A and B are shown apart, each in its own frame.
Chain A
Amino acid sequence: MKPNKSVGIIGYGAYVPKYRIQNTEIARVWGNDPNLVPIREKSVPGADEDSVTIAIEIARNAIIRAGINPSDLRAVWVGSESKPYAVKPTSTIVAEAIAATPFVNAADWEFACKAGSETIQACIAFVGSGMAKYALGIGVDTAQGAPSDALEYTAAAGGAGYIIGSAKESLAIIEASISYVTDTPDFWRRQHEHYPKHGNRFTGEPSYFKHVLSSSKALMEELGTKPEDYNYAIFHQPNRKFPLEVAKILGFPKEKILDGLVSPYIGNTYAGSALLGLAAVLDKAKEGDKIFCTSYGSGAGSDSFSLEVTDKLAERKGKAPSVKSYIERREEIDYAKYARYRKKIRA
């Protein structure tokens, strides 16, 4: 898919809370084998953080990099599965906090871990059609796994956001994108439930791999590109293993994946996951680099994007903290404090 008018990323922002719990600490509490844990550690939001506060930090970083007046944003869209309110938009609070109100389209998007990349697809269309000069799309989550569930090892907090504008103002031009969606019951959470459920036999092959591979192959086929044409690739990161495996199947060597692979250090930030990986790559990339990015959301579907970095990235990337600086800002907590911060135990 391509809009009528060429568009790209004019600013991006990332954020990861500073608290971390080690996977070995979770394994200790539940009596699991500490040698079989999926990642090193995951991020945990502080007691005063939620998807709203994280999205605000992301938005402010993106605005600083873009160097625009927030009142020129025509959309503030937030994709998340961890909304603080069941009814009342996250996006209006974010838009108010960054002074983008009142002439702005605000809405919350929902599609498990694909909710963030969906907002980017919509931003591309909103700007590409000429309806908006600038649009902001954010993917953010403070994901929760049920105590002792396999997902508890990886469900984490953080996200990234992108301001889309015209190609000539862009730090990275979005060449094309695609969406690949089917009805697949691999993961869900019913209304009023705290924790999600997953269909164990559904989580790998027929869901993640099928959708990520189909979407990625279709976009490269449409563009006539090959893995060799790209300098970096990012795939949704529910753990460390899946994105590396999917890259191998597609033919992307490991060295093109590692710069955007943040899940081993912060966990799976759900709607923030692929978008945070992309931000980490933009922190490193230089003019002329080509980037391939595919998200995945349960339910299920993938969005793929093909990007090319322009000369404007070099001057803008240093204006806000890098993903690496957030990863390095860390304070380890034990399971008891984690249980308190995540309201698994309450005063």
Chain B
Amino acid sequence: MNVPRHWREQIRRYRLVGSKCTDCGRLSFPNRAVCPKCNSRNNENYQYAGRGKIISFTNINSPPKEHKYNLPYAVALIELMEGPVITAQITDARAEELEIGMEVEMVTRKIMEYNDDGIICYGYKFRPIVEYAHP
């Protein structure tokens, strides 16, 4: 368990915060110190809206020990509304319920916990958008 590392990455993981190059406008996730497009070092935090589309996905059968509690789950490549493509776990839906092109939304969930006495790590996952039904 690496508590300092989890703490440093908290905001990125809880809120889906990446970076934006203030020179060329390139968006990144995770955040970059150097812009991959123009090599600028002027990058600021950027808050993503948390919406995107599934480009590809796979069902996970043999996860690391810390993720076994959550089986079965899918991992997907998601194209965020703002452009960047990220890899994330899917929650509240199994692989057989997913489709390429499906719209998903970011939620903050438990990623893993270290035994009964360790820290609990929370972070982003994606799920099919909750339909609004208004009474």
Interface residues of A (CB under 8 A from B): 18, 46-50, 52-53, 56-57, 84-85, 93, 96-99, 283-284, 317-318, 320-322, 324-326, 328-329, 347
Contacts and interface: CB of A to CB of B under 8 A. Distances in A.
Q: Which 4 pairs from chain A and chain B are nearest by CB?
A: A97-B14, A325-B133, A48-B109, A48-B110
B131 A329 contact: yes
Greatest chain B CB density within 10 A among A56, A318, A328 is at A56
B11 interface: yes
Interface string B99-135: 0000000011111000000001010010000111111
17 contacts: A47-B110, A48-B70, A48-B91, A48-B109, A48-B125, A50-B110, A53-B109, A56-B108, A85-B120, A97-B122, A99-B15, A99-B47, A320-B132, A321-B130, A321-B131, A322-B133, A347-B68
A326 B91 CA distance: 15
Interface string B46-81: 010000000000000000000011100000000000
Contacts of A53: 107-110, 122
B122 A46 contact: no
Interface residue SS majority, chain B = mixed
B69 A47 contact: yes
A249 B135 CA distance: 28
A46 B91 contact: yes
B92 interface: yes
Greatest chain B CB density within 10 A among A18, A48, A52, A284 is at A48
Interface string B6-19: 00001100110000
Interface of B: 10-11, 14-15, 47, 68-70, 91-92, 107-111, 120, 122, 125, 130-135
A70 to B, nearest CB: 10
A173 to B, nearest CB: 22
Nearest to B91: A48
B11 A96 contact: yes
A96 B108 CA distance: 11
Nearest to B14: A97
B7 to A, nearest CB: 10
A48 B124 CA distance: 11
Contacts of A46: 91-92, 109
Nearest to A347: B68
A326 B130 contact: yes
B108 A325 contact: no
A175 to B, nearest CB: 24
Contacts of B14: 56, 93, 96-97
A318 B134 contact: yes
A93 B98 CA distance: 30
A347 B125 CA distance: 23
A48 B107 CA distance: 11
Contacts of A96: 10-11, 14
Nearest to A318: B134
Given A56-B108, A57-B108, A97-B108, 17 more contacts: A47-B70, A48-B110, A48-B111, A84-B120, A96-B11, A98-B15, A99-B47, A283-B134, A321-B131, A321-B132, A322-B132, A322-B133, A322-B134, A324-B134, A325-B130, A325-B131, A325-B134
A347 B120 contact: no
A294 B14 CA distance: 34
A93 B122 contact: yes
Contacts of B92: 18, 46
A84 B132 CA distance: 29
A331 B50 CA distance: 24
Nearest to A329: B130
B132 A52 contact: no
Contacts of B130: 321, 325-326, 329
A336 B64 CA distance: 23
A96 B6 CA distance: 13
